[in-house]
Amino acid sequence: MAEKLRFADLAPGQVYRSAARITVTAAEIVAFARQFDPQPFHLDAAAAEHGPFAGLAASGWHTTAVTMRLLVDGGLPLAGGIVGAGVDELRWLQPVRPGDVLGVECEVLEVIPSRSRPGQGRARVMARTLTADGTLVQSWIATLVLRG
């Protein structure tokens, strides 16, 4: 595994990509929905055919959870873990379907040094979740808290 990044290692314009990929299955879509987002278009393929996505689709929150897993598994290799101070501009751009293979890329937008803790600070990053064919399904901008 690559060395973990610290605050001083980050600079605007850097892009990190997950080597890992996650294939989303119909069973996982239904299981997540059953527990966290129990709407017909996430729970039942037949009912979903007549829903807003014209077929079974993962909850946006499921996609967000998959994105986080991909970031933690190396898509954003931060020392001390990924600690968020907030997420802005969360967008679900396309539905995630059974069989979609997802990966993530993360771009450093801004690095903000702490005024009271030298060598530490915050970074604003954009995470993009893409299918294997490059379709952008989700994006967000997050502010992360980073140690030295």
Check which CATH number belongs to the domain holding 30 and give it: 3.10.129.10
85 SS3 class: strand
Q: How far apart are CA 32 and CA 26, in angstroms?
A: 10
Q: How far apart are CA 17 and CA 120, in angstroms?
A: 23
Q: Six-digit token pair at 73?
A: 């598994």
Residue 1 resides in a domain: no
Q: Which of 145, 2, 6 is nearest to 82 (CA)?
A: 145
Residue 99 resides in a domain: yes
Task: Summarize pLDDT for 107-128 with one digit per residue, the tens.
Answer: 999 999 999 998 889 999 999 9
Q: Assign 2 a pLDDT band (cuts: 50, 70, 90).
A: low
Residue 34 resides in a domain: yes
Residue 148 has pLDDT above 90, yes or no: no
Counting the structural domains of the chain, the total is 1
| Range(s) of the domain holding residue 53 | 7-146
Could you identify the residue written with the tokens 């294997």?
132
Task: Summarize pLDDT for 38-83 with one digit per residue, the tens.
Answer: 999 999 999 999 999 999 999 999 999 999 999 999 999 999 999 9
